[in-house]
Amino acid sequence: MAAPEEFDVVVLGMGPGGEVAASRLIDAGLNVAVVERELIGGECAYWACVPSKTLLRPAEVRSEADRAAGVRGAELDWADASDYRDGMIRHLDDAAQVKGYVDQGATVIKEAGRAVGPGRIRAGDRELAARHIIVATGTVPVVPELDGIDEITAWTNRETYTATTLPRRAIVVGGSAVGVETATFLSRFGVEVTLIHRGGSLLSREEPRVGELALKYLRESGIDVRLNASPHRARRDGEDSVLELESGDDDGASVAADVVVFATGRTPRTGGLGLESLGVELGRKGEVVVNRRCRAADGVWAIGDVTGKLPFTHVAKYQGRIVADAILGRGHEARYEGIPRVVFGIPEIAAVGLTEHDAGRRGLATRSVELDVAAALARPWTYERKPEAHLGLLADTDRRVLLGAWAVGPQAGEWIHYAALAIRAEIPLDVLRDQVAQFPTFHEAYLAALEKLEL
């Protein structure tokens, strides 16, 4: 076999994590090869964050138009929305991205890559040697192994967010971020949606109150949410895809629809990558185990969802910056405190930091408060008729800093960042109380909530 092509860095997987690391290293003058089996941009750009947020936005505007005084007649237009979505996902074509990296001097290989020994990657018929390998291969969706699943029309995020026509009825299985966003999008575009969630509370990693509010808003928008229910068998009945449910109030019940969307989680894509040949350790869930600098083994780094850390695009990008800095000799440790978690429902559902449950497990002394934002501020009323918004804070009573926060309301994904910085920088409560927010904004809620904390 010919001698391998030599590089400073090979990036395996070009989602948001791989892209950030690669771009920084190329900019710094390193000789970089990027290996991508599908499309440069990854899951996020074509089948996840970008199309979902693009399709949720018109529904949000429509809902806001209904709620704002003095506006009449906003209508949703699926043909236009899906056409714009197609542009946003680049018509599933990454030719411009490939050209962009080639023009910057990178070697682009559109193949599935795998490690074949320390510092060695094989991609198609090419063999690459590199001082550094960055594993950024993301996740694959997990679909439960139900009896009869092959008989039904089963979708994941891929079919859902590239759909050209929408079904009349859909069942969404899973009540976490993907489930809540997908049910919201489909139902706002007129699909009859049943959401099946196996737990007693939606968004179960967040405060129970957040799940309660999410449930209220989903049900108010006409979604049939079934809690404590999960499918145990699938079958086809004529045109219908049917799920038979077990447990909870729905034991023995069945639900029929045109499609079943599985929003049942994702698992790190580490199989078949030859990672054992790099000396990489895999964790309990198949994730690449990394240290605080995202180092996985000698000359091997991992970033993004494959690391099993907070599985968000902004975290993948952050880790991309951490690894680029480490390779360029200005390494520093990643910190995961104060990273926002936003579910783009209608209204938005945002959280950051610890929940009361997490804090209790760490033995921290805490006090929490919930503010009815509409009762306390002017902004919700200038924004819409009959406003609703909620802010929750969790403080450490010994250290007198914020530990966690959640917000449910218009643009909550924007105003959660105030708490995110407070948590990350451990800003004392006294300083936060003395900070002045613009009138009238949702940010003013922090002062009202901090005063209610009485700390």
Ligand X SMILES: Cc1cc2nc3c(=O)[nH]c(=O)nc-3n(C[C@H](O)[C@H](O)[C@H](O)COP(=O)(O)OP(=O)(O)OC[C@H]3O[C@@H](n4cnc5c(N)ncnc54)[C@H](O)[C@@H]3O)c2cc1C
Q: Are 85 and 55 in contact (CB under 8 A)?
A: yes
286 binds ligand NAD (CB under 6 A): no
273 binds ligand X (CB under 6 A): yes
- Residues 6 or more apart in contact with residue 336 via CB below 8 angstroms: 309, 310, 315
Region 291-310 residues binding ligand X, contact defined as CB under 6 A = 304-306
Taking CB under 6 A as the criterion, the residue among 173, 273, 322, 416 binding ligand NAD is 173
Nearer of residues 296 and 343 to ligand NAD, judged by Cβ:
343
Taking CB under 6 A as the criterion, the residue among 13, 268, 308, 392 binding ligand X is 13
Provide the 10 A C-beta neighbour count for residue 387: 18
Distance of alpha carbon 340 from alpha carbon 28, whole angstroms: 29
- Please identify which residue in the block is written with the tokens 């099946």: 196
* Residue 173 interacting partner from ligand X, ligand NAD, none (CB closer than 5 to 8 Å by kind): ligand NAD
Taking CB under 6 A as the criterion, the residue among 4, 8, 28, 37 binding ligand X is 37
* Residue 36 interacting partner from ligand X, ligand NAD, none (CB closer than 5 to 8 Å by kind): ligand X
Q: Which secondary-structure segment (H or E) carries 225?
A: strand 224-226
Provide the 10 A C-beta neighbour count for residue 288: 28
End-to-end CA distance of the chain: 70
Q: CB 230 → ligand NAD: shortest distance, Å?
A: 4
* Residue 175 interacting partner from ligand NAD, ligand X, none (CB closer than 5 to 8 Å by kind): ligand NAD
* Residue 409 interacting partner from ligand X, ligand NAD, none (CB closer than 5 to 8 Å by kind): none
* Residue 34 interacting partner from ligand NAD, ligand X, none (CB closer than 5 to 8 Å by kind): none
Taking CB under 6 A as the criterion, the residue among 316, 349, 354, 422 binding ligand X is 316
Q: Are 303 and 284 in contact (CB under 8 A)?
A: no
Distance of alpha carbon 299 from alpha carbon 94, whole angstroms: 29
How would you classify the pairing of strands 295-297 and 300-302? antiparallel
* Residue 17 interacting partner from ligand NAD, ligand X, none (CB closer than 5 to 8 Å by kind): ligand X
How would you classify the pairing of strands 300-302 and 126-135? parallel
DSSP 288: B
Burial (CB < 10 A; 0-12, 13-18, 19+), residue 250, is: middle
Q: Quick check: helix, strand or coil at residue 170?
A: strand
* Residue 171 interacting partner from ligand NAD, ligand X, none (CB closer than 5 to 8 Å by kind): none
- Cα 338 off chain centre by: 16
Region 196-235 residues binding ligand NAD, contact defined as CB under 6 A = 197-199, 230-231
Region 232-251 residues binding ligand NAD, contact defined as CB under 6 A = none
Total of chain residues touching ligand X, rule CB under 6 A: 37
Which residues partner with 128 through β-bridges? 5, 121
Region 51-110 residues binding ligand X, contact defined as CB under 6 A = 52-53
Distance of alpha carbon 213 from alpha carbon 160, whole angstroms: 25
Taking CB under 6 A as the criterion, the residue among 193, 323, 342, 403 binding ligand NAD is 342
Q: Would you tell me which residues interact with ligand X (CB under 6 A)?
A: 12-18, 35-38, 42-44, 48-49, 52-53, 112-114, 136-139, 157, 178, 269, 273, 304-306, 311-314, 316
Q: Would you tell me which residues interact with ligand NAD (CB under 6 A)?
A: 144, 173-179, 181, 197-199, 230-231, 263-266, 311-312, 342-344
